[in-house]
């Protein structure tokens, strides 16, 4: 399960928009930015994979208890909506 410390480490690994723009300013304007686009896509896909993995782990850890069934059902619906948004 991701902790606040893990999330902070993930945030540090990603460039902010300002950092990205400064990095782009260092390169000639006519340079093809496909490498940067591909790196960004790879970072996003890796991050999505980490999120989906955590969601799946949460589902496996969920212990079904009859008194909490309605809460768990609501949580499952929210997780399904999140997964469909991530995969779409």
Domain that holds residue 40: 4-27+35-87
Q: Given its phi and psi angles, is residue 85 left (phi above 0), alpha (psi -120 to 50 degrees) or beta?
A: alpha
The pTM score is 0.37
Which has the higher per-residue pLDDT, 42 or 11? 42
Q: Using a CB cutoff of 8 Å and minimum separation of 24, what contacts does 14-17 make?
A: 14/43, 14/47
Predicted confidence (pLDDT) per residue in 15-70, tens digit: 666 777 777 676 665 456 677 788 888 999 999 999 988 888 777 776 555 557 77
| Tokens, residue 85 | 């948004």
Number of domains in the chain: 1
């Amino acid at each position: 399960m991701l902790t606040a410390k893990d999330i902070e480490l993930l945030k540090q690994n990603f460039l902010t928009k300002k950092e990205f723009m400064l990095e782009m300013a260092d390169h000639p304007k006519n340079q093809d930015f496909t490498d940067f686009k591909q790196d960004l896509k790879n970072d996003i896909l890796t991050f999505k994979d980490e999120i989906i993995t955590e969601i799946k782990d949460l589902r496996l850890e969920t212990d079904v208890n009859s008194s909490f069934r309605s809460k768990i059902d609501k949580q499952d619906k929210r997780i399904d909506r999140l997964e469909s948004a991530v995969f779409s």
